[in-house]
Amino acid sequence: AQKVTQAQTEISVVEKEDVTLDCVYETRDTTYYLFWYKQPPSGELVFLIRRNSFDEQNEISGRYSWNFQKSTSSFNFTITASQVVDSAVYFCALSEANRGYQKVTFGTGTKLQVIP
């Protein structure tokens, strides 16, 4: 069974601070995908990144960066120089490549509040 744990329920930071959102996953598969989604106050989930289990390279996209470590089953997300627009709920998710379809398991989300 697959499981995604986001231990941080809520985080508050002051604008321009860096913040890291933690994600720990469990899976028995050797082939899987990891995702991060953002859900702003408007409610619509927005895809941020996908990572497959064979690619442990860290990724940077502007102020966003992701640290994938299979050894600790973690896929953490860092926002550098946070901005008020980053305030949202962030979900980490996992899907196992299983016979041609992928059932995605989401974590419970981390609510990030960036204070101006």
Partner 1 sequence: GAGVSQSPSNKVTEKGKDVELRCDPISGHTALYWYRQSLGQGLEFLIYFQGNSAPDKSGLPSDRFSAERTGGSVSTLTIQRTQQEDSAVYLCASSLDSHEQFFGPGTRLTVL
Q: Compute the least distance from the CB of residue 81 to partner 1, in Å.
A: 26
Q: How far apart are the C-alpha atoms of 7 and 63, rounded to whole Å?
A: 23
- Per CB under 8 A, 61 contacts partner 1: no
Count residues contacting partner 1 (CB under 8 A)? 22
Return the residue of 82, 109, 112, 114 that touches partner 1, per CB under 8 A. 109
- Per CB under 8 A, 33 contacts partner 1: yes
- Per CB under 8 A, 105 contacts partner 1: yes
Residue whose token pair is 């953002």: 38
- Per CB under 8 A, 50 contacts partner 1: yes
Q: Compute the least distance from the CB of residue 45 to partner 1, in Å.
A: 4
- Per CB under 8 A, 82 contacts partner 1: no
Residue type, 1: A
Residue type, 22: D
- Shorter beta-carbon distance to partner 1: residue 44 or 116: 44
Q: Where on the chain is the footprint of partner 1 (CB under 8 A)?
A: 33, 35, 37, 42-47, 50, 91, 95, 100-109
